Amino acid sequence: MDRFACISVFVAAVEEGSLVAAGRKFGLSASMAGKYLGGLEAELGVRLLQRSTRSLSITEAGQAYYARCKRILEEFEEANQEASDNAATLRGRLRIAAPVSFGALHMGDLVAGFLAEHDQVTAEVILDDHYTDLHTAGIDVAIRIGRLPDSGLVARRLAPCRMVFCAAPSWLALHGTPQTPADLRDAPRLAFSGAVTAGDWSITDAARQVHAIAGPLRAQANNMQLLLSMAVAGLGIAYGPTFAFGPAIAEGRLVQLLPGCVAEELVVQAIYPSARHLPSKVRSFVDYLAGAFAGDPVWDDFQRV
């Protein structure tokens, strides 16, 4: 039997809740639909659906297989649609992964803007600070920040991600404004625990000497926006990306420390599985992001004042 037809019947049976309905969808009798399903299970050597005369339920193996098959059928349908109209109209679901704080702060307007231009595209955005495997999770494009392992994925640079030391005016009023990296040596730190090297704080002075900042850890959190709130409240010094702290510095709620020194600079990148046969919706979305982030990012405006 044709495997694609078997997979189609299997997916339809799961979604329709019965082999009768699945067969009807493809002009097959219930018995023939059952043969398609049985043939697929025999080929795989695993039971996908438990069925009786009155009910049908999916097995654990069937659930995992369904998720993958569903994605395959969706991509096949999208490929047919794109080919039929020469990709003039983008359509289909776009699955996007991004870090929690960056996504919450900066991706909403961008996704909304892209969807407004392409009304037949839908989006699912997954925010997670852990690196998700794009293949197994069915992710079309992921936004990632920092150094990436050599994974065979395609990366496109979108924007710089500059790091900054900062503190609230209230904290500086009590403890003074640091003038050298040594002045930060014993300062209470507010750290992002989700960083790959959460305790590695360093800054380079004008003489190109690198200084490690390792004061007492006052608080840590796995959410950058929470750290921002604690920093604004005057709990200690914070070290993190300007995409999170830059607007608060521009507004005067935080003060950049040691602006004459240089902190680490990372990069915001769009990651996708392959440049070959890249769906038009993915290519267009990545191009849209690249255009939106062209030039210096808006969150670094405080450095140009």
Mean pLDDT of 166-174: 96
Q: What is the mean pLDDT of residues 205-225?
A: 91
DSSP code per residue over 103-151: IIIIIHHHHHHHHHH-TTEEEEEEE-SSPP-HHHHT-SEEEEES-----
User: pLDDT above 70 covers what percent of the chain?
Assistant: 92
For position 214, what pLDDT does the model report? Answer: 87
What's the pLDDT score for residue 138?
85
Res 87 pLDDT > 70: no
* Interval 17-21 mean pLDDT: 89
Using pLDDT thresholds of 50, 70 and 90, give the confidence band for residue 196: low
* Cβ within 8 Å of residue 210, ≥6 positions away: 202, 203, 204
As a whole number, mean pLDDT of residues 78-103 equals 79
d(CA 265, CA 269): 13
Name the pLDDT band for 244 (thresholds 50, 70, 90). very high
Of the candidate ranges 6-20, 89-103, 142-156, 251-265, the one whose mean pLDDT is the lowest: 142-156
Mean pLDDT of the chain: 87
H-type alpha helices, the chain: 3-16, 19-25, 30-44, 60-84, 100-102, 108-117, 134-137, 169-175, 224-232, 242-250, 280-292
Token pair, residue 86, equals: 């020469």
Answer whether 142's CB lies under 8 Å from 100's CB.
no
**DSSP class of residue 269?**
E
- What does the alpha-carbon distance between residue 301 and residue 258 come to, in Å, rounded to a whole number? 17
Place 198 in a pLDDT band, splitting at 50, 70 and 90. Answer: very low
Closest CA to 292 of 37, 95, 45, 112: 112
Contacts of 21 (CB under 8 A, 6+ apart): 12, 13
